[in-house]
Amino acid sequence: MSAAELDWKPAPKEWSAREVVHHLADSEMIAAVRLRRMLVEDEAQILPYDPDDLARGLRYAARPHALALTLFQAVRAETAQLLEGLGEAEWERAARHPRTGRYPVEQWLRDYAGHAHEHADQIRANRRQWRESGARG
C-alpha cells in the first residue's frame, strides 16, 4: 500500500489503515496481558480502555506501521501457543470486568478471536473506498 492509501480515511472520525494496524498491535498486547493475568491471578481486575484515546495519545496516524504489524503477529503467535497448552482448569479461570462482571477465559477468546478479522475487513473496505474515491498518492 502507498503512504497515501495507508493514511486515507473514509470519514474524518474513522481510522486509516495505518491507525488500524497500530490499534491491532496495542489491542493484541492488552489482550495478551489480560489473558496472562487471568491465568495467574485470582479475580484479576480488567481495566477498560478507550481505543480512540490510544489512537490520539500514541499518535497512530504519525507513526510508521511496520513494527506495529510485526508486534501484532508476534504477540498473536505467542498467545496462540499459550492457548494450545491450557488445561481444563485454566479454561475455567476468570477475571472481573467493571462493566460486565465475571469475565472468563472462554469469553476473552470469543471477544478477541475475530477482532483482527474484523479490522482486516475494515482495511479492505478502506482500500476499496480509496480506489472508488479516485484518490491517488
What are 72-125's pLDDT values in tens digits? Answer: 999 999 999 999 999 999 999 999 999 989 999 999 999 999 999 999 999 999
Query: 130, 6 in Cβ contact below 8 A?
Result: no
In whole numbers, what is the pLDDT of the chain averaged over residues?
94
Stated pTM of the model: 0.92
- Residue-range domain boundaries for the chain: 3-132
How far is it, in rounded angstroms, from Cα 104 to Cα 91?
8
Give the pLDDT of residue 133.
85
**Order of strands across the sheet with 94-97?**
44-45, 94-97, 101-104
The domain at 3-132 falls in which architecture?
A: Up-down Bundle (1.20)
- The pLDDT confidence band at residue 47, using thresholds 50, 70 and 90, is very high
Query: 22, 58 in Cβ contact below 8 A?
Result: yes
